[in-house]
């Protein structure tokens, strides 16, 4: 049985406690640092085998390790934050990232590099923990714009990091990238400890270690074939065996979680229509976000003599894609106004429509660098609205004591979307490539097919969003910060809520 005392106390504290104006930008800065960590290797991906003296298949584990560890750590850190303090877990995740960045900065050994990147993935929990802190600390009228900014920080950081990382990679030793990430991480930790107060909200119960191990095993078994299926073969025995093992482990994990008084993930809450549909829509938004990040930099950097490549440098390509993240940042205040008037469901639908427009129009805007800028701006606006809507929908459907875990699971769904997107688009571009001078080069047909796949994902996400329950108008146009702020969403007297 869940105690609602802590939730009610946290809600009351949130509304009466004054919070410094610096809290929101500092938490968003932590999200930007995480995005920088994820993006800093993009400019040198094609050179990793040479830099690490490894085969392309082995070098790809440098990227895969971060993806898998981030997916595993995000829901676990979210639950630990609910139990022991969200700021504490946010600082812990960033500290592990700093250690991992320093390991990578001092080595060119493949195994040590993979170990360092694995530790860096732990910082992925910063986004849901930051959103949880905002919900616990901020007054309701500031919550929408703050969550919008926090959600978009992953795009902002990625957009800023691309040209900066490309500039460093062109003119300095690539290890400098890791020193930069470690420095940003230390700065974020220091500022958070100095300025951001700890959340008073605590969830009842204990940490579900068997549940954490089971979820970790299931995610690793699922994400490994998703990430490596292109190398192993999608119909290979290894790929199919891992997918099958993942399904078995996750089913057993779910069966166990439903029988625990304090599970890692409350599956009954997750099964609510508004939570389930939001998480499924998050996968589609994750797919749509990553496609443009994969396609446009390659199109921009391909030589002009291919007949369709735009022949731009690594830095110029990064600058052309940077508006994707910057536009996401500028949509945060717009989202707050729209969401306060129409609700987060409406802004999610609007965001998905704009993303669809961006990909549909982008099919005909691939012949000049300025056209990719237009595509980036439109997609950034749509993705910014969609990303900002997701935590608001989750927060309105779960009690305050489960904010960290619920947003961690939602962030995990987005990560799964980007992972699936990377695998599918990578396979499409490889299958449609043609050979020029003995080198496989992505084709324009592959780029356009990738945009069509993203448009299809947006259509699925839009369909899911349309089935979300419409939000009830609130006095003063304010958003509900929690399902427990709505009397209609509270459990009936005597009802046991898992």
For residue 14, give every residue at least 6 positions away whose Cβ sits within 8 Å of its Cβ, in sequence order, or none. Answer: 135, 136, 137, 138, 139, 140, 481
pLDDT at position 437: 67
> Between these two residues, 496 and 332, which has the higher pLDDT value?
332
pLDDT(487) > 60? no
Of the candidates 358, 13, 314, 345, the residue with the CA atom closest to the CA atom of residue 174? 314
- Chain centroid offset of residue 321 CA: 18
Mean of the per-residue pLDDT values of the chain: 82
Mean pLDDT throughout 440-449?
86
Given a contact cutoff of 8 angstroms between Cβ atoms, the answer to whether 227 and 422 are in contact is: yes
pLDDT at position 438: 66
pLDDT(117) > 50? yes
pLDDT at position 184: 94
Share of the chain above pLDDT 70, in %: 90
pLDDT(497) > 70? no
> Between these two residues, 116 and 206, which has the higher pLDDT value?
116
Given a contact cutoff of 8 angstroms between Cβ atoms, the answer to whether 181 and 40 are in contact is: yes
Mean pLDDT throughout 55-82?
84
pLDDT digits over 351-385, tens only? 999 999 999 988 888 888 899 989 989 998 998 88
pLDDT(111) > 50? yes
Q: What are phi and psi of 439, to 5 degrees?
A: -120, 135
pLDDT at position 349: 95
Question: Where exactly are the structural domains of the chain?
Answer: 5-208+260-489, 209-259
CATH H-level, domain 5-208+260-489: superfamily: MFS general substrate transporter like domains (1.20.1250.20)
pLDDT digits over 407-432, tens only? 878 888 888 888 788 778 878 888 88
pLDDT digits over 445-483, tens only? 889 999 999 999 999 999 999 999 876 544 433 444 444
> Between these two residues, 199 and 494, which has the higher pLDDT value?
199
pLDDT tier at 8, thresholds 50, 70, 90: very low
pLDDT at position 66: 86
Lowest mean pLDDT among 34-43, 276-285, 471-480: 471-480
pLDDT digits over 119-131, tens only? 998 998 888 898 8
Lowest mean pLDDT among 31-35, 249-253, 325-329: 325-329
Neighbours of 57 (CB within 10 A): 12
For residue 458, give every residue at least 6 positions away whose Cβ sits within 8 Å of its Cβ, in sequence order, or none. Answer: 284, 288, 352, 355, 356, 359
pLDDT digits over 304-349, tens only? 888 888 888 877 887 888 888 778 878 877 887 888 888 889 999 9
pLDDT digits over 134-186, tens only? 888 888 777 777 877 787 777 777 777 777 787 887 778 888 989 999 999 99
- Burial (CB count <10 Å: 0-12, 13-18, 19+), residue 397: buried
pLDDT tier at 433, thresholds 50, 70, 90: confident
> Between these two residues, 17 and 267, which has the higher pLDDT value?
267
Owner of token pair 């968003």: 28
| CA dist list (Å): 310 to 119, 221, 319, 371, 385 | 37, 39, 14, 11, 30
Lowest mean pLDDT among 18-22, 69-73, 156-160: 18-22
This prediction has a pTM of 0.79
Altogether, the residues listed in the chain come to a count of: 498
pLDDT(10) > 80? no
> Between these two residues, 110 and 400, which has the higher pLDDT value?
110
pLDDT at position 244: 95
pLDDT at position 448: 92
pLDDT digits over 93-104, tens only? 999 999 999 999
pLDDT at position 248: 96
Given a contact cutoff of 8 angstroms between Cβ atoms, the answer to whether 52 and 175 are in contact is: no
Q: Can you read off the two tokens belonging to residue 205?
A: 């119960």
pLDDT(29) > 60? yes
Lowest mean pLDDT among 139-153, 195-209, 278-292, 408-422: 139-153
3-state SS string over the chain? CCCCHHHHHHHHHHHHCCCCCCHHHHHHHHHHHHHHHHHCCHHHHHHHHHHHCCCHHHHCHHHHHHHHHHHHHHHHHHHHHHHHCHHHHHHHHHHHHHHHHHHHHCCCCHHHHHHHHHHHHHHHHHHHHHHHHHHHHCCHHHHHHHHHHHHHHHHHHHHHHHHHHHHHHHHCCCCHHHHHHHHHHHHHHHHHHHHCCCCCCCCCCCCCHHHHHHHHHHHHHHHHHHHHHHHHCCCCHHHHHHHHHHHHHHHHHHHHHCCCCCCCCCHHHHCCHHHHHHHHHHHHHHHHHHHHHHHHHHHHHCCHHHCCCCCCCHHHHHHHHHHHHHHHHHHHHHHHHHHHHHCHHHHHHHHHHHHHHHHHHHCCCCCCHHHHHHHHHHHHHHHHHHHHHHHHHHHCCCCHHHHHHHHHHHHHHHHHHHHHHHHHHHHHHHHCCEEECCEEECCHHHHHHHHHHHHHHHHHHHHHHHCCCCCCCCHHHCCCCCHHHCHHHCCCCCCCCC
Mean pLDDT throughout 259-270?
83
């Amino acid at each position: 049985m869940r105690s609602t005392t802590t939730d009610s106390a946290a809600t009351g504290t949130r509304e009466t406690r004054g919070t410094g104006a610096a809290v929101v930008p500092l938490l968003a800065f932590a999200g930007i640092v995480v995005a920088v960590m994820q993006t800093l290797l993009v400019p040198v991906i094609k050179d990793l085998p040479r830099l690490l003296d490894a085969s392309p298949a082995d070098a790809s584990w440098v990227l895969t390790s971060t993806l898998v560890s981030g997916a595993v750590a995000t829901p676990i850190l979210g639950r630990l934050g609910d139990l022991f303090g969200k700021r504490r877990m946010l600082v812990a995740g960033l500290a592990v990232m700093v250690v991992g960045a320093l390991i990578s900065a001092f080595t060119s050994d493949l195994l040590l590099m993979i170990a360092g990147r694995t530790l860096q993935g732990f910082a992925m929990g910063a986004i849901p923990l930051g959103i949880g802190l905002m919900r616990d600390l901020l007054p309701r009228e500031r919550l929408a714009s703050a969550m919008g900014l926090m959600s978009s920080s992953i795009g902002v950081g990625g957009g800023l990091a691309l040209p900066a990382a490309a500039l460093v990679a062109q003119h300095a030793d690539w290890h400098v990238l890791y020193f930069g990430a470690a420095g940003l991480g230390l700065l974020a930790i220091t500022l958070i400890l100095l300025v951001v107060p700890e959340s008073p909200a605590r969830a009842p119960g204990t940490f579900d270690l068997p549940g954490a191990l089971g979820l970790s095993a299931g995610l690793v078994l699922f994400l490994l074939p998703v990430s490596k299926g292109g190398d192993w073969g999608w119909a290979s025995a290894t790929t199919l065996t891992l997918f099958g093992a993942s399904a078995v482990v996750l089913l057993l994990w779910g069966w166990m979680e439903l029988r625990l008084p304090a599970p890692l993930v409350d599956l009954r809450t997750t099964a609510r229509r508004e939570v389930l549909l939001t998480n499924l829509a998050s996968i589609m938004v994750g797919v749509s976000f990553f496609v443009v990040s994969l396609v446009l930099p390659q199109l921009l950097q391909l030589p002009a003599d291919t007949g369709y490549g735009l022949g731009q440098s690594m830095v110029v390509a990064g600058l052309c894609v940077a508006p994707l993240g910057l536009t996401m940042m500028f949509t945060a205040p717009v989202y707050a106004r729209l969401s306060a008037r129409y609700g987060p469901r409406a802004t999610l639908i609007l965001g998905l429509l704009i993303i669809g427009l961006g990909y549909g129009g982008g099919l005909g805007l691939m012949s000049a660098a300025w056209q990719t800028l237009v595509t980036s701006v439109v997609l950034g606006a749509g993705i910014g609205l969609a990303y900002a809507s997701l935590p608001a929908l989750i927060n309105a459907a779960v009690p305050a004591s489960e904010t960290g875990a619920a947003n961690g699971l939602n962030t995990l769904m987005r990560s799964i979307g980007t992972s699936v997107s990377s695998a599918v688009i990578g396979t499409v571009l490889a299958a449609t490539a043609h050979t020029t001078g003995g080198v496989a080069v992505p084709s324009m047909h592959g780029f356009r097919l990738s945009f069509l796949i993203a448009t299809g994902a947006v259509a699925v996400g839009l369909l899911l969003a349309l089935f979300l329950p419409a939000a009830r108008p609130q006095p003063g146009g304010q958003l509900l910060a929690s399902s427990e702020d709505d009397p209609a969403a509270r459990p009936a007297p005597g009802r046991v809520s898992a």
